[in-house]
Amino acid sequence: MGALPELIWGYLIHLSYNMWLDCDSPDPEREYIGYRPYLRFDEDLFHQLLEQMAEAGVNMLVIDLGDAVRYQSHPEIAVEGAWSSAKLREELARVRELGIEPIPKLNFSTAHDAWLGPYSRCVSTKEYYDVCRDLIAEVCELFDGPRLFHLGMDEETFEHQKYYLYALVRQYDLWWDDLFFYVAEVERHGARGWVWSDYLWHHPERFWAKMPTSVLQSNWYYYGEFDPENVRVRAYDELDAHGYDQIPTGSNYVLPENLPRTVQYAKEHIAPERLWGFLQTVWQPTLPPFRERHEEAIRAIKDARRAYEA
Position 3 confidence tier, pLDDT thresholds 50, 70, 90: very low
pLDDT tens for 16-32 read 999 987 666 666 666 78
Q: Cα separation of 122 and 118, whole Å?
A: 7
Position 5 confidence tier, pLDDT thresholds 50, 70, 90: low
Name the packing angle between helices 126-142 and 172-188 (round to 10°). Answer: 30
Spell out the alpha helix ranges (H) of the chain: 30-33, 43-56, 85-97, 126-142, 172-188, 199-202, 204-210, 231-241, 258-269, 291-309
Could you say which DSSP state residue 156 is in? -
Predicted TM-score (pTM) of the model is 0.97
Asked whether the CA dihedral 223, 225, 231, 234 is positive or negative, the reply is positive
Write down the domain spans for the chain.
Answer: 8-309
Asked whether the CA dihedral 114, 117, 120, 126 is positive or negative, the reply is negative
Distances (CA, A) of 212 to 24, 71, 165: 37, 30, 34
Pick the CATH number of 8-309 from 3.40.50.1000, 3.40.50.620, 3.20.20.80, 3.40.710.10: 3.20.20.80
